[in-house]
Structure 1
Amino acid sequence: MKHIFLFVSFIMCATGAAQSNFNDIFAAGVADAERFTNAYMAPLSEGMVYSISNGWYNSGEAKPLGGFEISIIGNMASFKNKEDKKTFVLNTADYDNLQFVDGSVSKIVSSGLGDLEGIRVFVEGEIAPGVTSREEFELPTGLASENINFVPSAFLQVSVGLIKGTEIKARFLPKINTDDVAVGFYGVGLQHEFTSLLPAEKIWPVAISGVIGYTHLTGTYNFTDTDLIAGDNQEIDAKINSWNFQAVVSTKLPIINFYGGLGYISGNSKTDVLGTYIVQQGPFQQTIEDPFTLTKKVSGATANIGTKLKLGFFRLHADYTIAQFNSLSVGVNFGFR
């Protein structure tokens, strides 16, 4: 089994293709392959949206003019106890050619996040008058089969204070290339502290602000050919966009502070399955070029709570977010003012 790791365990949205036999599904034809891949990849794309959307703030206070903070942030969107994200129901009545070897009509199978192994399917058809061909293969499992129960992200983030009460943010992960994988992303955000507009703002015990953040991720994953499906330039090309809108409140103490937020995340993914796929065995032998594009929209409310420790230029923060994918965010920060 082949699984993918990117830089400090950063996993891109296309890691649903965790097994080298993923492209065997093309033996069932393009329509069945698209239907299966869409259901298989959707939870992974959703988890990635939530993972890259978090970590925009660690305080309700906006930095003053000239203040800055540089942060190294890691997010983990967990799906350990979310069986509805780790599996889906495959009903063969919805497919043209795909059948279960054990004769089942409907069965729970693994999504790109799951760990169900050994589920065998087959395709069968007449290739000549009176001559039938049958090909069996195993459906791919997902990340949980490798004891990975979260979708991680990691990046560098910079925050700079502008005019009174306003702070601009930027985040990025320089593009990383390996033999099979390339991934990178960037984002921009804005925080405005409403309490900075109030009279005698310095005596207020809390700070209240609004935060908007946009993140864009691109990644590609090159497939490995199998005996069943040959071809060239087989890859998944994924693009993910997310928006995070938050209302934030925090304490204003000199060393340790607590913060929390309520908000909404909206995102989408576009996944192009590219390359040449040559089905060499079974009844539906054919050559397929750039077979299909998958799209997924994600949205949902979020709530989080966290704490930040400030020791001069050095700061630490951690927070936990409750959402469709609960997430832990941890950051090491260096700042001035």
Structure 2
Amino acid sequence: MKRIVLILVLCSFSLGMAQSNLNDLLAAGLNDAERYTTSYLAPVTEAGVYSISNGWYNSADAKPLGGFEISIVGNLTGFKNKDDKKSFTLDTADYENLQFADGSTSRQVSTALGDIEGVDVFVEADVNGTSVRADFELPSGLASEDLNFVPSGYIQASVGLIKGTEVKARFLPKIDTDDVKIGLYGFGVQHDFTKHLPADKILPVAISAVIGYTRLSGEYDFTDTDVIAGENQRIDAKFSSWNFSAVVSTKLPVINFYGGLGYITGKSDTDILGTYVVTSGPFQTTYEDPFLITNNVSGVVGNIGTKLKLGFFRINADYNIAEFSTFTFGLNFGFR
């Protein structure tokens, strides 16, 4: 359960899986451990990139000079019906040492989003004329804990400049505990093209372009967990994304509707750092900074939402349709 809690703390990027499974995976050999971990983490890091990429706008109507808005934004990126992201095919022909305990050569196993449990594997080799074998179970994922979403959240501020331009910044106050560190920042710009039209004041709609960049970094130090011998053991993860969107919205006094079509591109780097001494199985050795896993993500996203104005207080919610769809909600305080 602690692994699942850490997944949520680190915006569900599934980094805590290393605490309970890194020893077993490294016992299969470095190449097998890296290949398996890459496939295991890919869907959850993809969902994480989509999650942090949303929430850049709640209107196409840019704020005037000096207008501002401070928002608390939350995202829930769902994967309940994404069966193709919950598992992957593990073919032992692609691995140097990993074998299924039931004798099969290929089968579906869980990703960090999945719920497949009870998959037993082993590694075996001759060591000084003696057959040495290590058995272990592959990890399951979030769905096995009845969790079907990847959350993210941050504080965002927007300020209006001249000629229909609005600048934005977002951040997550740094969380720094004994073993977990996480922080997020981002910046963006929105330009309202309808502000250049003579009839802007009477037009019922606004049309804007939005560009936003987000970067999240997290570190989990598990040196003191005694899972595997060594020192300075930690996982360092960095996620970055760009969102390029065209947005249209109504311009009504109280309730407004908005929608956008955009393109998201991002990258995740998960670095396993420190010294690891493998003491079980036939491949007992010491690894320094074993491997780095990189996943590139890109795709089209469309959304539709609504915003309610109540004086200085506003509420907005929208649904983003993409490879991983996201529900975004915001509490906003501002003046324009």
The TM-score normalised by the length of structure 2 is 0.96
Number of aligned pairs? Answer: 336
- 1:272 corresponds in structure 2 to 271
Distance in 1 between the 2:284 and 2:96 partners?
15
2:294 maps to 1:295:
yes
Distance in 1 between the 2:274 and 2:149 partners?
29
In the TM superposition, 1:1-337 aligns within 5 A as: 1-5=1-5, 11-15=11-15, 17=17, 20-129=20-129, 131-223=130-222, 229-337=228-336
Over the matched positions of the two proteins, sequence identity in percent amounts to 67
Distance in 1 between the 2:241 and 2:268 partners?
9
Distance in 1 between the 2:331 and 2:9 partners?
18
Distance in 1 between the 2:18 and 2:231 partners?
19
Where 1:13 maps in the other structure, the secondary structure is coil
The answer as to whether partners of 1:26 and 1:229 remain within 8 angstroms in 2 is: no
Where 1:262 maps in the other structure, the secondary structure is strand
Q: State the AA in 1 paired with 2:86.
A: K
1:13 shift after superposition: 2.1
The answer as to whether partners of 1:10 and 1:152 remain within 8 angstroms in 2 is: no
Distance in 2 between the 1:7 and 1:134 partners?
31
1:14 shift after superposition: 4.0
1:233 shift after superposition: 2.2
The answer as to whether partners of 1:18 and 1:140 remain within 8 angstroms in 2 is: no
The answer as to whether partners of 2:264 and 2:299 remain within 8 angstroms in 1 is: yes
Alpha carbons of 1:19 and 1:237: their partners in 2 closer, same or farther (altered >3 Å)?
closer
Alpha carbons of 1:10 and 1:41: their partners in 2 closer, same or farther (altered >3 Å)?
closer
Q: 1:108-157 deviations in whole A, cap 9, x for unaligned?
A: 1111111111111100000112x101110111111112221111101000
Q: State the AA in 1 paired with 2:90.
A: L
Alpha carbons of 1:86 and 1:180: their partners in 2 closer, same or farther (altered >3 Å)?
farther
1:236 shift after superposition: 1.3
Q: 1:24-70 deviations in whole A, cap 9, x for unaligned?
A: 10000100001001111111111110000000000010000000000
Q: Which runs of 4+ in 1 moved over 6 A?
A: 224-228
Distance in 2 between the 1:316 and 1:27 partners?
51
The answer as to whether partners of 2:23 and 2:278 remain within 8 angstroms in 1 is: no
Where 1:196 maps in the other structure, the secondary structure is helix
Q: State the AA in 2 paired with 1:110.
A: S
1:178 shift after superposition: 2.7
Alpha carbons of 1:230 and 1:173: their partners in 2 closer, same or farther (altered >3 Å)?
same
Distance in 1 between the 2:166 and 2:218 partners?
29
Distance in 2 between the 1:182 and 1:12 partners?
14
Where 1:243 maps in the other structure, the secondary structure is strand
Aligned-residue CA RMSD in angstroms?
1.8
Alpha carbons of 1:116 and 1:178: their partners in 2 closer, same or farther (altered >3 Å)?
farther
Distance in 2 between the 1:202 and 1:271 partners?
49
1:269 shift after superposition: 1.1
The answer as to whether partners of 1:43 and 1:86 remain within 8 angstroms in 2 is: yes
Gaps of 5+ in 1: none
